[in-house]
Amino acid sequence: MPPTTRATVNTAAAAAALPPDLLARICSFLPPGDAITTVPRLNKGWAAAAAPRVAELRKVARALREEALRSFWLSRREYQSFSVPLWALQEAWPQLTEQQRKLAAARAAFHGDLAALRWALLLLHRDNDGTRYCAAAAAGGQLEALQFARLLGYEWSAHTMPPTTRAADTMDVAAAALPPDLLARICSFLPPGDAITTVPRLNKGWAAAAAPRVAELRKVARALREEALRSFWLSRREHQSFSVPLWALQEAWPQLTEQQRKLAAARAAFHGDLAALRWALLLLHRDNDGTRYCAAAAAGGQLEALQFARLLGYEWSVSTCVEAAHSGHLTVLQWARAQQPPCPWNEWTCSAAAAAGHLGVLQWLRTQRPPCPWDWETCSAAAGGGHLAVLQWARAQQPPCPWDKRTCTAAARGGQLAVLQWARAQQPPCPWNAEDCFGVAADAATSEWIRAQAALEDVTQPPCPWNAEDCFGVAADAATSEWIRAQAALEDVTV
């Protein structure tokens, strides 16, 4: 079956409500391989909308194969027809001959399908036919595919041609004829980085169509940067806003500082922009800050980006597991721990899962052998985030996850009154310091409850020593003076 990521499901659900003519128009812009193999498997509406283009593409593919038998150049490029999507290639791989596998890799190189190319080249046997991948990438004008093939050590020859951009030019001309409302709808599906940097450069029509979304994305980016100054987790992830497209990164690279270059690479890792990530990591200097790319990929749930950073030899640390746990990316966490040696983890990993309320992740961490360690920070993090179910589960284990007065303090600071009440209602109750909790309470309701609870617990304690005459003499208002006079009378003191 084709891959079912959350983004794919959401896009398919949104597309299901579109009229057939709009579906057909959108299908006309899909890569041929997806139009032929992926779209018909989504649902009947997509299949019907794509049917005319699928028929035309199959006709073109047959014509190219026939022409390849008569032409010297096309016989070297029978891979021109279309690239098979990665999911379909993985599904068919066991049934393919070695020659068919090579052809699929060459097609991926020609069309710039880096995901399929990377997967295939890492599985293929090296032989004297290896130059075909560099030649295919060059023939299709796919510089990144050519660079990747060379990175893996594949040879090139005189048949490697300079890249061209005919496909991009054709796409731009076709898009220029679309109505503004359709352009705007298409722009809404583009990655944020392309919407902000690429689309406005195409032509005025595209720029106008993308303008509302660009303004909204810039607003979100500013909000994330501001939040990063206040939040521990977001300050570690200032790369959340959007990934800079490769062409824009290449254009700006000479003017960027080393720190900005690292940030761009981390953004690419977080968003799974493998093209930009690969290009940046191959140029960056290795230093002690190299673990940030694995951590960024884990935070974004980008398993391929994490695998690629590891393939290039970049180190990982506890932060990789911590970020995966905090973001709830269990698949990434499981892969990292399955390696030999496994990615390191510690108590922060459990507290990260608890802080974000990812009970399933926390349960998986604790069921491993040996379990991921935890300490008081797990309960404190769950309490501060208001995740009562996580806190209850942690305390129900044998032995229970440790807690101390910092659990109550965290709940008060976060305004999590229900969590604070539950913690203090246990037998024995969670330790606390009422003064500390009152001092950091986030709202009036929490403050009042703490005050009342502290008063109930202090009934048996002797009152604070005082001198009624001194207090009466410095009282700031009449109400205070009257209360002091009445209280002093109860103690047989006259003021």
Both 300 and 370 in one domain: the answer is yes
pLDDT at site 40: 67
End residue of a domain, out of 198, 227, 256: 227
Q: Considering the domain boundaries, does residue 442 fall inside one?
A: no
Both 188 and 252 in one domain: the answer is no
Q: Which one of 29-33, 111-115, 357-361 scores highest in mean pLDDT?
A: 357-361
Per-chain mean pLDDT for the chain: 80
Q: Inform me whether the pLDDT recorded for 237 exceeds 70.
A: no
Q: Considering the domain boundaries, does residue 64 fall inside one?
A: yes
Alpha-helical regions (H) of 203-346: 204-228, 232-235, 246-252, 258-271, 274-281, 291-300, 303-311, 318-327, 330-338
- Which of 158-162, 306-310, 337-341 has the lowest average pLDDT? 158-162
Both 251 and 360 in one domain: the answer is yes
End residue of a domain, out of 137, 152, 167: 152
Single-letter amino acid code for the residue at 94: P
Q: Considering the domain boundaries, does residue 396 fall inside one?
A: no
Q: Inform me whether the pLDDT recorded for 6 exceeds 50.
A: no
**C-beta of residue 294 within 8 angstroms of C-beta of residue 306:** yes
Both 209 and 252 in one domain: the answer is no
**C-beta of residue 295 within 8 angstroms of C-beta of residue 348:** no
Both 335 and 212 in one domain: the answer is no
Both 95 and 64 in one domain: the answer is no
Q: Considering the domain boundaries, does residue 457 fall inside one?
A: no
Q: Considering the domain boundaries, does residue 46 fall inside one?
A: yes
* Nearby residues of 217 by Cβ (< 8 Å), 6 or more positions away: 192, 195, 196, 242
pLDDT at site 227: 66
- Which of 21-35, 330-344, 414-428, 475-489 has the lowest average pLDDT? 21-35
**C-beta of residue 292 within 8 angstroms of C-beta of residue 315:** no
Both 283 and 193 in one domain: the answer is no
Q: Inform me whether the pLDDT recorded for 16 exceeds 60.
A: no
Both 295 and 369 in one domain: the answer is yes
Both 358 and 270 in one domain: the answer is yes
Q: Considering the domain boundaries, does residue 52 fall inside one?
A: yes
Residues 411-444 pLDDT 10s = 999 999 999 999 999 999 999 999 999 999 999 9
Cα(71)–Cα(68) distance, integer angstroms: 5
Q: Inform me whether the pLDDT recorded for 462 exceeds 80.
A: no
Both 248 and 357 in one domain: the answer is yes
Full domain range(s) for residue 126? 86-152
Both 223 and 250 in one domain: the answer is no
* Nearby residues of 304 by Cβ (< 8 Å), 6 or more positions away: 115, 272, 274
Report the Cα–Cα distance between both ends of the chain, in Å, rounded: 88
Q: Considering the domain boundaries, does residue 312 fall inside one?
A: yes
Task: State what percent of residues in the chain have pLDDT above 90.
Answer: 39
CB atoms within 10 A of CB 455: 10
**C-beta of residue 57 within 8 angstroms of C-beta of residue 82:** yes
Both 187 and 302 in one domain: the answer is no
Query: Per-residue pLDDT averaged across 317-332, rounded?
Result: 96
Query: Per-residue pLDDT averaged across 377-397, rounded?
Result: 97
Q: How many domains, in total, are found in the chain?
A: 5
Q: Give the 3-state secondary structure percentages of the chain, helix then strand then coil, rounded to 5.
A: 70, 0, 30
Query: Per-residue pLDDT averaged across 454-482, rounded?
Result: 83
**C-beta of residue 281 within 8 angstroms of C-beta of residue 309:** yes
Residues 297-314 pLDDT 10s = 999 999 999 999 999 999
Q: Considering the domain boundaries, does residue 395 fall inside one?
A: no
Q: What does pTM read for this prediction?
A: 0.57
